[in-house]
């Protein structure tokens, strides 16, 4: 006999967690390790025979920490949903007020009616790779700003030596840390068999170099293999958004961009190289131009094509072969 499911809506805050379950008033718990344990025990005590399904909004590190802690408990499922979905659901219910208690009830109602998919933590190696790549990108952005600042200061008359020295010290420090992080990324991709194999497979695609392959894995994570082709395209923010109603509204279609911007951006340069050196992307790009498509529209279509090629290669665990990947 299969167990039933008991849904719980959780409004995640930095210091407090509000939890709502059917037939009970919402309860608040501190957002600590002991608070999460009390939260789970309370929900479990209301129906010890059911599978507990906790649903929460994606709130960055706060929801990720809570989800990871709850996932360790037995007979427990987790869903992390887009806050825009919860907001739209609340509007559909004509909710006029917004408090943590009400938000927990809205999330509960959403989970009970929509049955969101269960979440699983990413493999440890992918989590580590993602954190390292994010840190490296943050350091590069910071270094770029300080390099620009140093360039500006070079033209400032009578600039105090202390200011120039301070800028130079910060630039050197950031470069040293960036070298360390990049070395850790390289070592991780060499030491972890799965990551090493995936990077090697992606590098067989003309236009995809090692740095792009690593970032595709860091930003795409398991979505690259677990998501359907349509869901993966939407996840990267490459799905089209149409605006049409009757005969009065005939808006132009454009990218929805409702996805991971970093994931979308990392596809850009490999696609630019690919439309020259990758036979599939090159032929596809030329066909679109011949049909009168603007260059940017054709380029975005090639980005989607490249993303699906990446997905096919990782799923099939086979290197790039134009005769096969052309139908990906």
Task: Say if residues 21 and 7 touch (Cβ distance below 8 Å).
Answer: yes
Work out the burial of residue 161: count CB atoms within 10 Å of its CB; fewer than 13 is exposed, 13-18 middle, 19 or more buried. exposed
Contacts of 166 (CB under 8 A, 6+ apart): none
Per-residue pLDDT reduced to its tens digit, 31-45: 999 999 999 999 999
- Residue 312: both structure tokens together: 């096919």
Question: For position 2, what pLDDT does the model report?
Answer: 60
Per-residue pLDDT reduced to its tens digit, 167-220: 999 999 999 999 999 999 999 999 999 999 999 999 999 999 999 999 999 999
Mean pLDDT of the chain: 91
The SS3 call for residue 309 is helix
Question: For position 326, what pLDDT does the model report?
Answer: 56
Q: Cα(first)–Cα(last) distance of the chain, in Å?
A: 41
Question: For position 60, what pLDDT does the model report?
Answer: 87
Task: Say if residues 17 and 11 touch (Cβ distance below 8 Å).
Answer: yes
* Domain ranges across the chain: 5-114, 124-191, 210-325
Inform me whether the pLDDT recorded for 321 exceeds 90: no
Contacts of 215 (CB under 8 A, 6+ apart): 133, 262, 266
Instruction: Tell me the whole-structure pTM to 2 decimals.
Output: 0.86
Task: Say if residues 217 and 126 touch (Cβ distance below 8 Å).
Answer: yes
Per-residue pLDDT reduced to its tens digit, 237-292: 887 654 555 555 444 555 555 667 888 899 999 999 999 999 999 999 999 999 99
Torsion of CA 205, 208, 212, 218, to 10 degrees: -10
- Residue 35: both structure tokens together: 């608070």
CATH class of 5-114: alpha beta
Rounded Cα–Cα distance for residues 201 and 319 (Å) = 5
């Amino acid at each position: 006999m299969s167990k039933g499911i008991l849904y719980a809506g959780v409004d995640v805050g930095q210091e407090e967690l509000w939890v709502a379950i059917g037939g009970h008033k919402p309860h608040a718990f501190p957002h600590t390790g002991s608070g999460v344990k009390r939260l789970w025990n309370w929900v479990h005590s209301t129906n010890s025979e059911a599978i507990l399904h906790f649903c929460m909004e994606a709130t960055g590190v706060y929801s990720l920490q809570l989800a990871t802690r709850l996932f360790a408990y037995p007979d427990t499922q987790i869903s992390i949903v887009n806050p825009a979905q919860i907001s739209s659901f609340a509007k559909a219910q004509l909710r006029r007020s917004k408090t943590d208690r009400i938000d927990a009830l809205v999330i509960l109602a959403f989970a009970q009616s929509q049955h969101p998919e269960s979440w699983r933590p990413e493999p440890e190696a992918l989590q580590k790779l993602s954190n390292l790549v994010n840190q490296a990108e943050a350091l590069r952005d910071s270094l770029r700003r300080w390099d620009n600042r140093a360039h500006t200061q070079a033209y400032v008359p009578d600039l105090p030596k202390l200011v120039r020295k301070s800028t130079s010290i910060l630039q050197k420090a950031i470069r040293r840390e960036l070298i360390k992080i990049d070395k850790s990324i390289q070592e991780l991709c060499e030491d972890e068999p799965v990551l090493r194999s995936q990077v090697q497979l992606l590098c067989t695609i003309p236009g995809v170099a090692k740095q792009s392959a690593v970032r595709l894995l860091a930003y795409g994570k398991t979505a690259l293999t677990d998501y359907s082709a349509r869901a993966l395209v939407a996840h990267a923010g490459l799905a089209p958004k149409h605006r049409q109603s009757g005969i009065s509204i005939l808006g132009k279609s454009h990218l929805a961009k409702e996805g991971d911007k970093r994931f979308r951006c990392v596809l850009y340069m490999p696609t630019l190289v690919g439309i020259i050196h990758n036979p599939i992307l090159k032929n596809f790009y030329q066909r679109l131009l011949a049909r009168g498509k603007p260059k940017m529209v054709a380029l975005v279509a090639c980005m989607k094509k490249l993303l699906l090629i990446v997905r096919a290669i990782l799923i099939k665990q086979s290197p790039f072969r134009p005769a096969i990947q052309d139908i990906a």
